[in-house]
Chain A
Amino acid sequence: MKHLKEEELIEHYYGKGRSDAAEQHLQSCAECAEAYAALKSDLEEMEFAEAPMRDAAYGERVWQSIAPLLPAYETRKRSWLRSGMGRGLSYAAACALLVVCAFVAGRLWEHKQTPMAAKNPAAQAQPTQQSAAPVRERVVVVVLGDHLDRSERLLVELKHADAGSEEMVGPMRDEARSLLAANRICRQRAARADDPALSATLDRLDHLLAEVASEPGGLNAATLTRLQNEMNADGLLFEVRVLRSRIPEQQTYQSARQNGGTI
């Protein structure tokens, strides 16, 4: 049986914690009942003398002694700002101010952007041309990091592929086709960015992807062996991994978009 602690007995005595459970326990547990009786006896013994009464003039005396020390509150004009309506108006004014500030900031920013656009008509014209381009033109956003990741996976699969297994070869071919389109965009971007290392690797990758994607009879053993040898000879997988490591993890779809939508 779990006995009541002294704290529980004290709480029980003062009544706030008086519970049926404690009461029942005290009735069934002689040890706790004895402890409680001792506590009760001790506390009841602690009788303190009543505070001496002050006479009726005590309050007056207290007031007389402190009154000279109290500066009068200034007559408060019933400030409308302190009222609920005042608070509401304050919030409304603050909101209005915020809207005005946002509007002015927007206008200023717009003015600032206009001269920049004027200085670079080519940049201005490009979006215009793009916007005039046919709707059918798809905007493909490719993140270089993702592209290299996918390419790396494909190269690893290719390296360990078994030509006799159509289950493996089929998906590789589809993936290669998908990567081929993205790789071309990446190559263009690399060429514009004047990055010879990236361009060279993407060129070799393009060649390999094209072969995997367009092999008419599928990947037979001879083709696969040749591609694996070429891949090894070029160190393509290694280069892709090196290039991938150059790209921070944070370069995501969002950052790619910020950089102009395509890479």
Chain B
Amino acid sequence: MFRMDKNDHAAIQATLAGDKEAYGALVKRHSQSLFRVAFRITGNEADAEDVVQEALLAGYRKLESFESRASFGTWIYRITVRCALDRIGGRRVDENHRVAEESDTEQDEVQVADVAAGPDRMLLSGEIGAMLQEAMSGLTATERTAFVLRHMEDCGTEEIGAALGIQPNAAKQAVFRAVHKLRFRLASLRVRI
């Protein structure tokens, strides 16, 4: 996804050597792409901007642990995904979802009916957009993030797993669950319309 840029490497070395401004070059270089993924996950410009800042701050603090063999772009991308996941309430939603997962398909319908306008509002447009918005809101934060990374960012399951801090197989399952739920909800919404 990202190649290790020599300029990135030099900027990191300079930053760690005490040149704070060198980190500014990294920030300017990567902010756009980080905003894109943050927006796709949070579905909200303001949240996405906050996530970008939060991720870059976290990246600066952890910079000493960054291994120079890796790509800074990939590294900071993963941090951004984690920040976005936290932003949309990943842990809380996941815990609720674990209970909900035990239920049958009727539970899914209940969740759809309970959905209020979520952070995906800005993502979607038109009739199908409205249905997608509603369907996306029924996903857990992990499922939504996994789906966004797979469907929109074209990440592989290993990359998704690394970004979410879970095993690749768990990432794959999250994508499956997300697709399954989205299809089910879209089908039921179509029936209602």
Residues of A within 8 A of B (CB): 6-7, 10-11, 14, 16, 39, 42-43, 45-49, 51-54, 58-60, 62-63, 65-67, 69-70, 72-76
Beyond the given A51-B40, A58-B31, A62-B49, please list 8 additional residue pairs across the A-B interface where CB-CB is below 8 A. A6-B180, A14-B150, A14-B151, A39-B179, A51-B36, A70-B20, A70-B60, A73-B20
Q: Is B11 an interface residue (CB 8 A)?
A: no
* C-alpha gap A74/B53 in the complex (Å): 22
Interface residues of B toward A: which range?
35 or more
Let me know if B152 and A48 touch, CB within 8 A: yes
Measured in the bound complex, the distance between the Cα atoms of B157 and A16 in whole Å is 9
13 residue pairs from A and B, CB less than 8 Å apart: A42-B186, A43-B151, A46-B132, A48-B123, A51-B35, A58-B31, A58-B32, A59-B28, A59-B32, A63-B28, A65-B53, A67-B24, A74-B18
Report B-chain residues with C-beta under 8 Å of the C-beta of A6: 176, 180
B165 touches A (CB below 8 Å): no
Chain B residues near A49 (CB-CB < 8 A): 122-125, 129
Determine whether B77 belongs to the interface, using a CB cutoff of 8 Å to chain A.
no
Q: Chain A nearest CB: distance from B121 CB in Å? A: 11
- Is B56 in contact with chain A by the CB < 8 A criterion? yes
Question: Is the CB–CB distance between A60 and B28 below 8 Å?
Answer: yes
Given A46-B151, A51-B40, A70-B20, is A39 in contact with B183 using a C-beta cutoff of 8 Å? Answer: yes
How many Å lie between the Cα of A20 and that of B83 in the bound state?
39
A residues near B115, Cβ cutoff 8 Å: none
Closest to A11 in B: B172
